[in-house]
Structure 1
Amino acid sequence: MGKAELLLRLSVSRNLVVRLKTGLWMDPSRFDKGIFSLPKDPTARAEIRAIEDRLIDIERFLINLCEKTPSDTLTKDFVVAQYDLFLHPKPEKQKRQPRNPNFFDIFEDYIEKKNISEWRIKHLRVLKRALMRYELYVRANGRGRYKIKLDDFTVDDVNSFEKFLRSEHEIHEKYPEIYKAVPADTHTTRKKPKPQPKGDNTIIGLFGLMRAFYRWCRDQELTTNDPFAKYNGKTTEVYGTPYYITLEERDRIADYDLSANPSLEAQRDIFIFQCLIGCRVSDLMAMTPASIINGAIEYMPQKTKGERPQVVRVPLNARAQALVAKYAGRDDLNGKLFPFISSQKYNVAIKKIFTTCGVNRIVTVLNPTTGAEEKRPLNEIASSHLARRTFIGNLYKKVKDPNLVGSLSGHKEGSKAFARYRDIDEDMKKELVNLLD
C-alpha cells in the first residue's frame, strides 16, 4: 500500500467548514481514528514523530487564527490564504546592508553633537566647504568618482589637501565652476570674492580642527583611521611680537575732533570702548544695555562658550561710562549698546580713523601668508583685534601679572594664546637691566 496525504477539516461554525491539505504523506495503516501507531524501525518511527509534531504546529496555528480574527473577517478565503502563508512562508527580503555614512554627514553630526562655540562652528564650516571643493577638484582632475571617505583618507590625502589649500587662489581661475558650486565665502554678495593665498597659520588652524574631528570619530568608534599620524607638516602656529597702540595714541584717537563725520565718530567711539574692555569684536557687537551690571560689563566669550563657559566681568572706567552715556537712548541702536555696523565695515572704518588721526607708526609684523617680516604703518593694518591687544598689552605693562590680566580678557590661566600678547617692551627691558646696577 502506498502513502496518502493527511487532510484536515476545520469546523469554525455551521456555515464555515474548511478542508485543508497538510502536505504530509504517510502509510495509512499507521494512522487510525486520530492515533498514530509507531513502527519498530527507528528511521520510520522518527518520520512519524516528525509528522505528529508538524500536525500539532498546524493545529496551534489554526486555533490561534480563529481566536484572534474577528468573525466578520474569518471567511473561507481568508483562512485558506493565511494557512497557505503558514505552510509556504514568503522568504524574508534580505535586509540591505546599511551604506557607509557619507563623510560630510558624519562631519555635520560632529558639529551638531559636540558642545562647541559658534566661533568654532563657523570655522568648521569653512573647513567643510574647503574639503568639498577639494573633492570636486580631485574629480575634475581625472578621478571622476572620487569621494572623501572617513576610513580611506590617508596622510597622502592630507598632503594633497594642503597643497590644494595653498593653491586655491590659482585653482579658482582654472576651475571657476567649483567655486560657484561651493563658494569660499558664503556672505550674500553679488560677486563672490576669489580665495586669498593661505599661510601656515591658516592651514595649521584648519588641520587642528580636522584632527579634533578625527579624534571624535575614533572616540565614537566610527573609524580607527588617523590620517595625521604620519603627517610631517607644520603643526605649530607662529606669530610675531604683538603690536598695539600706546595709551597716548589711544587718547589721540579718542580726543580727535570727528564731529564733521558723525558716522566715523561713532565707530571711533566703539573702537575706544573696545580698547577699554578688551573683548573680541563678536562679543562687542552682542552687547546691550543689560550687559552692564553694577558698573561693569559682563559677557560670556562666544569663542570659548561651548568648551569653557565663563563670565568675564570688566569694570567700566570713567571714559567707558561716558561713551555708554553718550549713546544711551538713541533711536538707531536696535537694542544694542552702540550703533554697530558689520564687523567688515567696522574694520574698514578703523583704518580710516587711524589715517585721519595720524596714527601711522611703523611696526614690524609677520606676513600671514609668507611668514616673512614686514614693516607696515599702523593705519594700514589696524583692525578690531588691535583694540583687544591694546587693552591686554597696556594692562600687562602696568601689572605684569598674566593671570590677573587674563581674568579681564577671558584667557584661561597659562593660555598659550595669551602668551602672544605679553610683549616685553623697552621700558620693561630697562627695568630688568637696572636690576644689575
Structure 2
Amino acid sequence: MATIKKTLSTKTDGQGYSQILIRVSIDKDKKLRLKSGIFIPQKRWDNTKERISYGKATGTERIEMSEKETRLKNFEAKVLKLCEISPKDILTKEWIESVLSVCDNIEVSQLSIPVINELLDKSQNPEKYENRSFFDHIIDFRDNAKKKVNGKREGDKSDVWKKNFNVLVRALRRYEMFVRLSDKERRNFTLDIDTISSETLSDIESYLRNEYSLLEEYPKIFEKIPASTDSRRSPKPQPRGNNTICALFNKLKAFFNWMNEKNITTNNPFKGYEGVVSEKYGTPYYITLEERNTIADFDLSAHPQMEIQRDIFIFQCCIGCRVSDLLKLTQSNVINGAIEYIPLKTKGERQNVVRVPLNTRASTLMKKYKGVDSKGRLFPFIAAQNYNDSIKEIFRLCGITRAVTVINSITGKEEQRPINEVASSHMARRTFVGNLYKKVKDPSLISSMSGHAEGSKAFNRYREIDDEVKKATVSLID
C-alpha cells in the first residue's frame, strides 16, 4: 500500500508563498516526488503534522487556507487511488501528473483505468471528441456502460440488454427524423445532449405513445423514415403500453446519468421530469401443479408436433429457466443430476451459476429426447414465437381455459382472459416459481434456482399470490 509524506518547499514566490510537495512511497524500491500546485505562506504549514495550520487565521486568509486544505486532501486521495488501481510499471511521476491534470472534475470514487484512459485520450486527441452527435454518445453508452452493483460500476451489460437498448436508439432516430419532416420550423432539428430538456422528453414520450397512429396520419412522412438502420425494414410501429414506455425511458435516464458521471455534460432533463409514471404489473398468474400434470399426461398422439412442444413446456415448468436459456441447453449443462447454466439475461452483469436439480418428470423427458436434436440440444426446439403459439393451442386442446385477471399492456387496465389465450413460455417460469413458493416460503432458495436477481421486483410479486395461505391465515380469527 502506497504512503504519502508532505513537506513545504523552502523556495518562495514573489508573495512569500511556498508549494506543498508530495513524496509517494509505492514500495521499498519505488518512490516518486510530485508537486501539488498548492501554495501557502510558510507560517501556515505544520511540518510535524504535515498539514495546513490556519487556526489563528481570520477573514479572507482563513477561507483561502480552508479551500487549499480541501484541495490538498483531494490531491492526496487521488494519488493514493491511482497507486491502488494502476499497474506498478505505469506509475511514473510524468504519468501521475498527466492524469491529475485532466481529472480535476472527477470524483475519487469515479477513478478507474478506463475513465483515466478516456480522459487522457480526450486531452491528447481533442479532434476525436469534437462535434460528437447525440447518437455517437448513446451508442458509446450502449457499448461501454457497466452494470451498477453495490454502488460500483462493474460487469459488462448483457447482449440481451444491448439488443433491447437498440429499440430505444432506433425509436429516437425515427423521432428526430419525424420532427424534421413534420415541422417546417425545425427542419434542422437534432437531438443534443446539452439542450434536451424536460419539454423534449415530453415530446419524445408523446411520440412513443402515438407513433402507430402518427404512421396512419402521416403515411408519406413515414415512407421517408427508415424503420431501422439496417437494410431490413422492421414491422410497422405497434401501440405501446405504459410499461414499455417506462422501460425505454429508464434506459434513456440511465444514459444521462452515465453522461453526468463521466462529466461529458451537466445537463440532465430527467431532474424534475414528471412525465412517465412507474410500471404497473398485475399479480403473476400461472397453472397449478394439477393443471401442469393434466397437460403433461394428456394424450396428444394425434398431434405429434404438439406433443413435442408440450414436453418441452413441461420440462421448462420443472426447471424454471427463461426461454432464451432453455433454447441453448445441451447435455453439457447436465451435471450430477442437475441443470447448470449462467442466465443469458444477466451473463454480462453477474456470472452466477444457476443450478436446478432434475426431478423425476424432468429426467424422464430429457431421456425421451436424448440424441434427437441434430444440433445436440436437449430438445428439438423450434423458434420461440412458434413455441409460444403452440403452448396456447396445447392449453386449449387440454381444456386448460379458466379465466385469469391480467393487465392490458396498452390500456394498463385489468381484464379477464382465458388462460390459454395468454399462455406463453414465460408461464412455465412463473409456474416453477409460483408453485415452489407455495411449498417453501424461502425467496433466497427459490431465486437461486430461478436466476432472479436479489431484490427482484418481478420475484417479489409472487409473495402476493398464495390465496390458500391467506385463507388459512384469515380462518385463524373465525
Superposition TM-score, scaled by structure 1 size = 0.74
CA contact (8 A) 2:284 2:465 kept: no
Instruction: Please name the residue that 1:99 is paired with.
Output: 130
Unpaired runs of 5+ in structure 1? 1-94
1:113-140: CA deviation from partner (whole Å, max 9, x where unpaired): 1210112111100000010110011011
2:226 aligns to what? Answer: 182
- Larger Cα-atom Rg: 1
Residues 123-163 of structure 1: per-residue CA shift (max 9 Å, x gap): 10000001011001101112211111111111111100000
For 1:180 and 1:387, locate their aligned partners in 2 and report how far apart those are by CA, in whole Å: 42
Q: Which residue of 2 aligns with 1:198?
A: 240
State the match for 1:147 in structure 2: 190
Deviation at 1:422, TM superposition (A): 2.6
Q: Structure 1 186/280 Cα, relative in aligned 2: closer, same or farther at 3 Å?
A: farther
The letter of the residue matching 2:243 is N
- Aligned with 1:134 (options 175, 179, 184): 175
What residue ranges of structure 2 are gaps of 5+ in the alignment? 1-125, 146-155
**Structure 1 residues 213-232: aligned runs within 5 Å:** 213-232=255-274
The worse-fitting range, judged by mean Cα deviation, of 299-308 and 170-179 is 170-179
Is 1:307 matched up with 2:327? no
**Does 2:421 align with 1:380?**
yes
Q: What one-letter code is carried by the residue in structure 2 that aligns with 1:307?
A: E
Is 1:360 the equivalent of 2:401?
Answer: yes
Deviation, structure 1 residue 333: 3.6
Kept in 1: contact 2:323–2:384 (CA 8 A): yes
3-state SS of 1:435 partner: helix
What is the rounded CA distance, in whole Å, between the counterparts of 2:230 and 2:467 in structure 1?
Answer: 44
* 1:277 match: 319
Say which SS state the counterpart of residue 462 (structure 2) adopts.
coil
Report the Cα offset of residue 225 of structure 1. 1.1
User: How far apart are the structure 1 equivalents of 2:427 and 2:374?
Assistant: 24
Aligned in 2, Cα 1:176/1:423: closer, same or farther, shift over 3 Å?
farther
- Percent identity over paired residues: 54
> Is the contact between residue 182 and residue 221 of structure 2 (CA under 8 Å) also seen in structure 1?
no
* Aligned counterparts of 2:229 and 2:390: Cα–Cα separation in 1: 21
Amino acid at match of 1:104: F
Q: 2:440 aligned to 387, 399, 408, which one? A: 399
1:302, 1:259 → 2: CA distance? 34
Per-residue CA distance 1:317-352 (angstroms, 9 max, x = gap): 01001111111111x441211111111111111111
1:164 paired residue among 207, 214, 228:
207
2:86 maps to none
> Are 1:350 and 1:384, in contact at CA under 8 Å, matched by a contact in 2?
yes
Kindly tell me: are residues 187 and 390 of structure 1, through their superposed partners in 2, closer, same or farther at Cα, counting changes over 3 Å?
A: farther
Partner of 2:292: 250
Which residue number corresponds to residue 323 of structure 1?
365
Please tell me whether the aligned partners of residues 283 and 465 of structure 2 are also in contact (alpha carbons under 8 angstroms). Answer: no
Q: Who is 2:459 aligned against?
A: 418
- 2:312 partner letter: I
Of 176-185 and 285-294, more deviation after overlay is shown by 176-185
Q: For the aligned residues, what is the CA RMSD?
A: 2.1
Q: What does residue 112 of structure 1 align with? A: 143
In 2, Cα distance between equivalents of 1:398 and 1:265: 29
Instruction: Work out whether residues 306 and 390 of structure 2, in 8 Å CA contact, stay in contact via their aligned partners in 1.
Output: yes
SS in 2 for 1:297: strand
Shift of 1:430: 1.8
* Cα separation, 2, equivalents of 1:407 and 1:257: 34
Contact 2:178/2:221 (8 A) holds in 1: no
Confirm whether residue 124 of structure 1 aligns to residue 165 of structure 2: yes
* Residue 248 to residue 117, structure 1, CA distance change in 2 (3 Å): same
Q: 1:179 to 1:277 in 2, by over 3 A?
A: farther
By relative contact order (CA 8 Å, sep 6+), the higher-ranking structure is 1
CA contact (8 A) 2:209 2:240 kept: yes
Q: Cα distance 1:274–1:97, how it changes in 2: closer, same or farther (>3 A)? A: closer
Please tell me the residue identity of whatever aligns with 2:191.
Answer: I
> Offset at 1:354?
0.8
Secondary structure in 1 matching 2:390: helix
Contact 1:129 1:182 (C-alpha < 8 Å) held by counterparts:
no
**Alpha-carbon shift at residue 112 of structure 1 (Å):** 1.6
In structure 2, distance between residues paired with 1:367 and 1:431: 31
Instruction: Tell me the CA shift for residue 98 of structure 1.
Output: 5.7
Q: 1:226: Cα distance to partner?
A: 0.6
Number of aligned positions between the proteins: 340
Shift of 1:434: 3.3
Q: What SS class does the counterpart of residue 346 from structure 2 fall into?
A: coil
- Residue identity matched to 2:444: N
| C-alpha distance in structure 2 between counterparts of 1:240 and 1:290, whole Å | 37
